Amino acid sequence: VGVGDVLVSGLYDSLVEGIRYVRANARVYAKTTREITVTIPCSYEQKVYLDRETDGGAFSGFFEEKYLNFFGKRIKFSKKTGNTGGICDTIEGEQSLGLVQGVGFPISVSTVWHLPYEMRTCTRTPAEAEALAYVELSRRIAALPGGAELLSKTIKTYAGDEVFVLTCTLVCVEDIGRVREIERG
């Protein structure tokens, strides 16, 4: 059997009625082999947030802005605006104000935080890289199309100075049939 071969057809040939189209309902099971390779680098870039205490005050990019939201209008009541340098994440939060608990009013206070960060090169231990590789392997196996029955799983690993590689060979029994419409003509 090769890819694209028709194993179950919706054409019914009768001596009395001739050829007619019917709906074929079948499953085609096959023993398949899949290979999944997961590569985890031992060094990676990580976002590290800066603040006045940890960076010695050298980076003054952290600040917040306050706004009063009053019936659809946004009124700023903090002095500083915009990002003052470097790269940063912007996070916004809103707190509703109400005079009576449980009754909403169209008045709120918004706070916008600008959090500076820098990208730093970090390293993983071989054990950390291996643990991440197994987590990623589990994620990829879970993402395979449903209905497969696992017969065997073989895992090979390689731990180098720069990378950890996990190769998994899966042998499954799965429904490989694909529906293809009959071309009438």
Q: Which of 128, 121, 129, 133 is nearest to 48 (CA)?
A: 121
At 122, list the tokens: 């970090």
Q: Is 122 helix (H, G, I), strand (E, B) or coil?
A: strand
pTM, 2 dp = 0.61
- Report the alpha-carbon distance of residue 147 to residue 145 in Å, rounded: 7
State in Å, rounded, how far the first CA of the chain is from the last one. Answer: 26
H or E element in which residue 138 lies? helix 126-142
pLDDT tens digit at each of 185 positions of the chain: 777 777 777 777 778 878 877 777 788 888 999 999 999 999 999 998 876 555 554 445 567 889 988 888 888 887 766 555 668 888 899 888 776 666 667 788 999 888 888 889 999 999 999 999 999 999 998 888 777 888 999 999 999 989 999 999 999 998 888 777 767 65
Predicted pLDDT at 117 = 85
